[in-house]
Homo-oligomer: A and B are copies of this chain.
Amino acid sequence: MPLEHQIDIRVRYSETDAMGYLHHANYLIYYEEGRTALLRAQGGNYRQMEEGGLFMVVVSLDCRYRRPAHYDDLLTLKTRISRVTPAKLEHEYKLFRGEELLAEAHSVLACVNTHGVVQRIPEEFLSDL
């Protein structure tokens, strides 16, 4: 089961701001897409997990923005699981345009039920990590 996954993302016009750059809040949306794609590559499906009443919520997140991205740039996002505990998953992200590193980030997600109470991450999401 892969612990790392790579996707391509093209910057949408609506994701830019008046400075002409990809707005800094939208990096978090890309990181979320990276997580979803990594999980799918592992054979998991976050949507099914939610339908089963469990949610992975972002507990903390830190980003470093190194260089701006622009409309229509074709970017590459590398997402990696860096740590697994019974109720938490940590990811690392690196966003590139070609060889150029644009941004790096790290997040911690916790597994909760519909009442927001922390839960063990289901075995099928962890067995092979």
Chain A residues in the interface with B (C-beta under 8 A)? 12-14, 16-21, 23-26, 28-29, 32-33, 36, 45-47, 50, 55, 57-65, 67-68, 70-72, 116
Contacts and interface: CB of A to CB of B under 8 A. Distances in A.
A7 to B, nearest CB: 10
A84 B28 CA distance: 26
Nearest to A31: B25
Contacts of A71: 18, 47, 50
Contact of A20 (B18, B25, B32, B72): B18
A63 B60 contact: yes
A60 B65 CA distance: 6
A55 B71 CA distance: 13
